[in-house]
Amino acid sequence: MASKTPDNVIIRVMRKEDYKNVRALFKEDFLASEPLCQLSGIASQWQNEEKGGNDDNNLSVIAQGTCLVALDEDDGGRLVGFVLAEAQFPEDIEKHRIEAETSRQNGFGRIRVILFKVEREANIFERFGISKVLYSKVTCVDASMRGKGIGSRLAAALMDVGRSKGFPAMLAHCTSFFSARQKQALGMQCIYSLAYADYKDDQGRPIFTPAEPNTMLRVMAIKL
């Protein structure tokens, strides 16, 4: 599967050999700009994380054939965007509960906890009456290429991948206003939302306080 856009950006299925560049863009761009990662200082934590766990997990996701890259043919095939996506099943909810409860009390851990909360409460498997879903985990577009619709093209292409692989639905956790708006424009619906102001610690203080307009985390979904 590969498609070319008028500006010579090719979107195709991610390969294992793409991961070095994907990892670099994830670290340099996504971790520095995604609202919760930005607040939590994830970029520096990522620098200090031991290699292995995250990389092994991402490589296993790539092996599913559900991840995509966007390459700029006018710039020697430079990676300008990607989406990491994977199959999820009802039994994964329990696995995510354990991961959330055993997470270290750092930025990664706090994000894992809130994502588990919204996953559990959105309850897409019962809500849609399905036994598997294509979960769009991370969408990243190089800062120099934003505003060209690459993120939307990646999401639309991912829907096509989901249909071709027999997924009945696609799901995304949108931590920013802009990612939710993009998904909504493609026909995805908000099935659950959590205002950051309402998500508090034991002392009643909001755990995440992103700047406007990023005021809530939305779970977006679409039947394929």
Q: Does pLDDT of 52 surpass 60?
A: no
Summarize pLDDT for 62-99 with one digit per residue, the tens.
999 999 999 999 999 999 999 999 999 999 999 999 98
User: What's CA 34's distance to the chain center, in Å?
Assistant: 10
Question: % helix / strand / coil in the chain, to the nearest 5?
Answer: 45, 25, 30
* Number of independent structural domains in the chain: 1
pLDDT at residue 151, as a whole number: 93
The DSSP letter of residue 133 is E
Across the chain, mean pLDDT equals: 90
Distance from C-alpha of 140 to C-alpha of 126, rounded to nearest angstrom? 29
| Positions of E strands within the chain | 2-4, 9-13, 68-72, 78-88, 133-141, 169-174, 189-195, 216-223
Query: Which CATH number do you get for residue 191?
Result: 3.40.630.30
**Angstrom distance (rounded) from CA 42 to CA 54:** 13
pTM surpassing 0.75?
A: yes
The predicted pLDDT at position 220 comes to: 98
pLDDT band, residue 27 (cuts 50/70/90): confident
pLDDT at 13: 97
Q: What is the pLDDT of residue 50?
A: 45
Domain extent at residue 13: 2-223
